[in-house]
Amino acid sequence: MEVNFRRDPTIYDGRFANNGWLQELPKPVTKLTWDNAALIAPATAERLEVENGDIIEVTHEGRRLRVPVWITPGQAQDALTVSLGYGRTRAGRVGNATGFNGYVLRGSNSPWFGAAEVSVTGDDYPLVSTQDHWSLEGRNIVRSAALGEYTANPGFAREMEHLKLDKPISLYPPHDYSQGNQWGMAIDINTCTGCSACVIACQAENNIPVVGKDQVSRNREMHWLRVDRYYTGPIDNPDTFLQPLPCMQCENAPCEVVCPVAATVHNDEGLNDMVYNRCVGTRYCSNNCPYKVRRFNFLLYQDWNTESIKMQRNPDVTVRSRGVMEKCTYCVQRINDGRIQAKREDREIRDGEVLTACQSVCPTDSIVFGNINDANSRVAQLKSSPRSYAMLEELNTRPRTTYLAAVRNPHPSLPTHSSVGGHHTEDADQGSEPSGQH
């Protein structure tokens, strides 16, 4: 066996171990939080007869570490990856007692990889991941094609619908959104690297609380924006797709209809407004959201008392108490700021003037937000691209957040399953029921 040491994708070399945001940030590929693990290939796990969370003892150059495994499709066989920076004992209140210390194994002879022996201990450890299901299950949520297919048929993404809709299927005329600013967002799956900076930016901007490992294990993480990660193809060598998922801001929002107290309604600029002070917390809106973008304050997750945290928060955004729903607002506070500024200067809001938090930090410019009524705006142009598609379009939710399908260009001799999202693709059964925490 080979053991590899890597800087941790969220807490780096350990210097950020005491940072709650980074501890709770799901790691880009594994979606683990609050711990590291020994990443292991599915075939190797099968050979060793271990499941997620089973603790193995890794021996490298005479040094030993007990560390739980995490099955990671695409990991090289008979190779483990242990990220550094965890297992600190004097990191602080947040960072102590998290993860397993890779530095114990690592030596200056071979600081990045080396030979190792592995034995199964029979113990286990609860590892917490925010996404257990990596398969698209035959659904067209993420769409992709190989370059050749794209060149032949640029509009391939539009054809990958389960149900073709020629015209709107409502009995009622739609509301008129032809006037004024109408906000929309286009997210390019092709350029997203999964770095998750957008998630942290959103957390910083919108006063999103850290809930802790136990609550994340109960599926209660509060990130408004999440990055979903899907594998397609053979499990030992899959293609990986990353999809940031904010609120879709649907024009026919299913969440709005079912709220008994009108705590979520639609505004004139196309935003689905969340009214925290009206919300009584029936959670029907979450149930009816097909994208599951809504988050609920099951407990009082916000720190109500520490003075320094009060100074850290964004004063433009409400701090939510327990019992209310929350979700991505397209950074409505920034939109309002932009509108006020424009009014002061007696002009319209210019394209690119209002940036959502996620957009402003994305290193590859995958997230583009703007006014779709402005034909010259970047977002309007991206939405008119043939790669553009809406998620779950057949539900007639009319989402303002749309995606640009990926185009992959693998070498012809590599096995590839780049065509993703068509009807009933064969990877429906792969990785359906993991042995993870939840």
Partner 1 sequence: MANNLHRSAGVLDVPVIAPGHDFETVTETVAQIPLSKRTPLGWIFGFLIGLTLLGGLTMALGWLLLNGIGIWGNNIPVAWAFDIINFVWWIGIGHAGTLISAILLLFKQQWRMSISRFAEAMTIFAVMCAAIFPIFHTGRPWLAAYWLFPYPNTMGLWPQFRSPLIWDVFAVSTYATVSIVFWYVGLIPDFATMRDRAVSRVKQTIFGMLSLGWRGSARHWHRYEVASLILAGLSTPLVLSVHTVVSFDFAVSVLPGWHATIFPPYFVAGAIYSGFAMVLTLAIPVRAAYKLQDFITMKHIDNMAKVMLATGLMVGYGYLMEAFFAYYSGSFYERQMMIKRMFGPYGWAYWLLIFVNVGLVQLLWFRRVRANLPLLFVLSLLVNVGMWLERFVIIVTTLARDFVPASWGMYYPTRWDFITYFGTIGLFLTLFFLFIRFVPMISIFEVRTLLPQAKVDHGHAHGAAHGPTGDGQDTTPRSH
Partner 2 sequence: MHVNEPTNATYGVMAEFDSAQTIVDAARLTMAEGFSKVEAYTPVPIEELNDIIHKTRTILPKLVLAGAIAGMMTGFGLQYWASVIEYPMNVGGRPYASWPAFVIPSYELTILFAALTAAGGMIALSGLPQPYHPVFNAPRFSLASSDKFFLVIESVDPKFSVSDTSRFLHRIGAKGVYEVPA
Q: Is 283 in the site for partner 2 (CB under 8 A)?
A: no
- Residue 79 CA to residue 131 CA, distance in Å, equals 23
Q: Which CB, 71 or 255, lies closer to partner 2?
A: 255
Residue 260 near which of partner 2, partner 1, none (CB within 5-8 Å, type-dependent): partner 1
Question: 255: part of which helix (H) or strand (E)?
Answer: helix 254-258
Give the binding-site size for partner 2 (rule: CB under 8 A).
20
Q: Do the Cβ atoms of 8 and 15 come closer than 8 Å?
A: no
Q: Which CB, 123 or 268, lies closer to partner 2?
A: 268
Least distance between partner 2 and beta carbon 400 (Å) = 12
Residue 429 near which of partner 2, partner 1, none (CB within 5-8 Å, type-dependent): none
- Residue 231 CA to residue 113 CA, distance in Å, equals 26
Residues in contact with partner 1 by the rule CB under 8 A: 131-139, 141, 162-163, 215, 218-220, 226, 228-230, 243, 245, 254, 257-262, 278-284, 286-288, 290-292, 294-300, 322-325, 391-392, 395, 397, 423-424, 433, 438
Q: Which CB, 10 or 249, lies closer to partner 2?
A: 249
Q: Is 253 in the site for partner 2 (CB under 8 A)?
A: yes
Cβ count near 171 (within 10 Å): 5
- Residue 433 CA to residue 336 CA, distance in Å, equals 44
DSSP code at position 420? B
Residue 236 near which of partner 1, partner 2, none (CB within 5-8 Å, type-dependent): none
Tokens linked to 23:
């501890």
Q: Which CB, 120 or 428, lies closer to partner 1?
A: 428
Name residue, tokens 């970047």: 378
Amino acid found at 79: A
Handedness of CA 268, 390, 264, 331 (dihedral sign): negative
Choosing from 92, 111, 155, 174, the residue that interacts with partner 2 (CB under 8 A) is: 174
Tokens linked to 325:
């729903």
Residue span binding partner 2 (CB under 8 A) among the ranges 103-111, 129-137, 231-239, 262-270: 262-270
Residue 132 near which of partner 2, partner 1, none (CB within 5-8 Å, type-dependent): partner 1
Q: Which CB, 259 or 328, lies closer to partner 2?
A: 259
Q: Which CB, 43 or 265, lies closer to partner 1?
A: 265
Q: Do the Cβ atoms of 230 and 238 come closer than 8 Å?
A: no
Tokens linked to 434:
């993991």
Q: Is 254 in the site for partner 2 (CB under 8 A)?
A: yes
Beta strand pairing status for 367-371 and 63-71? unpaired
Residue 51 near which of partner 2, partner 1, none (CB within 5-8 Å, type-dependent): none
**Exposure string for 255-274, b = 16+ CB within 10 A, e = fewer:** bbebbeeebbebeebbbbeb
Contacts of 105 (CB under 8 A, 6+ apart): 3, 5, 58, 60, 61, 63, 64, 65, 82, 116
Q: Is 251 in the site for partner 2 (CB under 8 A)?
A: yes
Q: Which CB, 288 or 385, lies closer to partner 1?
A: 288
Instruction: State the virtual CA torsion across 69, 72, 77, 81 in degrees, nearest 10.
Output: -60
Q: Is 248 helix (H, G, I), strand (E, B) or coil?
A: coil
- Taking CA atoms, 301 is separated from 158, 274, 341, in Å, by 41, 18, 34
Tokens linked to 61:
């150059």
Q: Which CB, 287 or 341, lies closer to partner 1?
A: 287
- Residue 17 CA to residue 11 CA, distance in Å, equals 5
Q: Do the Cβ atoms of 193 and 425 come closer than 8 Å?
A: no
Q: Is 294 helix (H, G, I), strand (E, B) or coil?
A: coil
Residue 66 near which of partner 1, partner 2, none (CB within 5-8 Å, type-dependent): none
Least distance between partner 1 and beta carbon 133 (Å) = 4
Q: Which CB, 266 or 339, lies closer to partner 2?
A: 266
Q: Is 266 in the site for partner 2 (CB under 8 A)?
A: yes
Choosing from 13, 256, 316, 374, the residue that interacts with partner 2 (CB under 8 A) is: 256
Least distance between partner 2 and beta carbon 173 (Å) = 8
Q: Is 279 in the site for partner 2 (CB under 8 A)?
A: no
Least distance between partner 1 and beta carbon 16 (Å) = 25
Binding mask 394-413 for partner 2 (x = CB under 8 A): ----x---------------
Residues within window 308-347 making contact with partner 2, judged by CB under 8 A: none
User: For binding to partner 2 (CB under 8 A), which residues are involved?
Assistant: 170, 172-175, 250-257, 259, 262, 265-268, 398
